[in-house]
Structure 1
Amino acid sequence: MTYIFGHRGSAGTHPENTMISFQETERAGADGIELDVQLTKDGEVIIIHDEKVDRTTDGKGYINNLLLKDIKKLNAGAKFQNGQFKAEIPTLNEFFEWFKGTNLFVNIEFKTKSISNYELEEKTVAMVKKNKLEERVIFSSFNHYSLVYCYRLAPEIETAPLYAEGLFMPWIYAQSIRAKGIHPNYRVIPDELITLSQNHGIKVRPYTVNQDEDIKRFLNCNTHAIITDFPKKAKELKTV
């Protein structure tokens, strides 16, 4: 069985990384949500992809230069489909309050380049533990130092490295950093590597799988999960 994860919620149909996008993912019958976390200037964990608010909101500036109270004034739906949606940038705490009442999984991606400052990871792990969500959370990042740090902090929470180039024997690399999964760009994971990785106990969850033929390919390979901007469409293709 292949799980469906909504990329930044249902980013193809609703403003990415907002509560309305996450709620749409649940309505679509998906199995999980993928989202991105960063720290504000005052150290709050918020859900947003870019380093700046410019692309997705009606504001400007770097996240780490903005206070939460100012970020909360922005409309995270302003740039999506002619601004027909209005939505706040959510905190991770706000997300968890809703998420606890669902049966979904969540893949939390750390948007960080640091290999020495792990405040974001520490705060996120503490929130997961406080809410007793260890079994429903996966940590991912392009910063694999971040994932190793998380494993040391909380070995019971699954980690999965993100990568965009081909890897030789990716299951060996995953095992070397104690990861239980890999999250490759969908273009760099051929069918054989999916089978080999999963036969070695490493779950494969490619991103961002949006085209019908690609969704069908990963379904046919019994890929553990796909991460897609269109969870409703993926769910429909899965049930055909």
Structure 2
Amino acid sequence: MSNKTLIFAHRGSAGTYPENTMAAFSAAFNEGVDGIELDVQLTKDDIPVIIHDEMVDRTTNGSGWVKDFTYQELESLDAGSWFDPSFEGASIPTLEQFFDFYSQTSLVINVELKSGVVRYPGIEKIVLELINKYKIRDRVIVSSFNHYSLVEMKQLDPEIETAILFMEGLYEPWNYAKGIGAEGLHCYLPVAVPELLVGAAKAGMPVRPFVVNEEQHITNLIKAGCDAIMTDWPERAIQIRESLLIE
């Protein structure tokens, strides 16, 4: 199997660590992943922070909308205990804190802009400035369910790599993606059907399905030569990939 399917840690090693925390990202790095996927939103004072939900209730001991907290207020929340008491005190990281460490690695970074429910004016420019500050543009993929955000990114920097996020069984989505200047398809696992994988490969567009956690799904996608998978269990996925390479 010459084409190695890349393993992206979805929100870090989210199966074994509290998602989108430095502990989860650090674990993923130590497990030997190829890439890390994370979610970015803006605080009240326009600091890009890494958190999935628009509200802090599920993954912290706080309550309310991310957009209504200053970073200083967010930083004091406990983002670990909800997952396991042993992670008490884990905090919501800033994108800059993450880049500070990961710019020293060779990992591919998938930054998802969470600009669909809350629009976060200026999030594209703020994130792009940080990417350029750390000189990691050549290994960052910017994705979003809000495709207007991706077009905005391309207008700011035509060279930045973007990928459309989608949940639906779109027909020939590579044509649509090319139409907005995107270079990748980040689709919901159930719509990563053979027709999509084959057609996208012919069109030269990488497919990176999410969230691929079941052993059978991981195995099938690797065998199908899928470009990459997003998984909460990267260590397991890497082991499966290694065993298939030995076969």
- Counterpart CA distance in 1 for 2:32 and 2:51 is 23
Partner residue of 1:233 out of 231, 236, 244: 236
Aligned-partner residue type, residue 68 of structure 2:
N
What is the correspondence of 1:198-213 to structure 2 with a 5 Å cutoff? 198-213=201-216
Note if 1:29 corresponds to 2:51: no
What is the correspondence of 1:57-68 to structure 2 with a 5 Å cutoff? 57-68=60-71
In structure 1, the partner of 2:224 is: 221
State the aligned residue count: 239
In structure 2, the partner of 1:189 is: 192
Note if 1:13 corresponds to 2:16: yes
In structure 1, the partner of 2:50 is: 47
In structure 2, the partner of 1:134 is: 137
Provide Cα deviations, 1:11-55, integer angstroms capped at 9, x if missing partner: 000000000100111111110000000000111100000111110
Aligned-partner residue type, residue 86 of structure 2:
Q
In structure 1, the partner of 2:86 is: 84
TM-superposed CA distance for 1:114, in Å, is: 7.1
**Structure 1, unaligned stretches of length 5 or more?**
none
- Counterpart CA distance in 2 for 1:38 and 1:157 is 19
In structure 1, the partner of 2:175 is: 172
Note if 1:151 corresponds to 2:154: yes
Provide Cα deviations, 1:163-213, integer angstroms capped at 9, x if missing partner: 001000111111111111000001012122112102201110000000000
* TM-score, length basis structure 1: 0.97
* TM-score, length basis structure 2: 0.94
Provide Cα deviations, 1:79-116, integer angstroms capped at 9, x if missing partner: 003x2213110000100000011111110001012797
In structure 2, the partner of 1:69 is: 72
Write out the 4+ residue segments of structure 1 that deviate beyond 6 Å after TM superposition. Answer: none
**Structure 2, unaligned stretches of length 5 or more?**
none
What is the correspondence of 1:82-121 to structure 2 with a 5 Å cutoff? 83-86=85-88, 87-113=90-116, 118-121=121-124
- Counterpart CA distance in 2 for 1:237 and 1:157 is 32
Percent identity at matched positions? 45
Q: CA distance change for structure 1 residues 122 and 165 in 2, over 3 Å: closer, same or farther?
A: same
After TM superposition, the structure 1 stretch with the greater mean CA deviation from structure 2, 221-230 or 191-200, is: 191-200
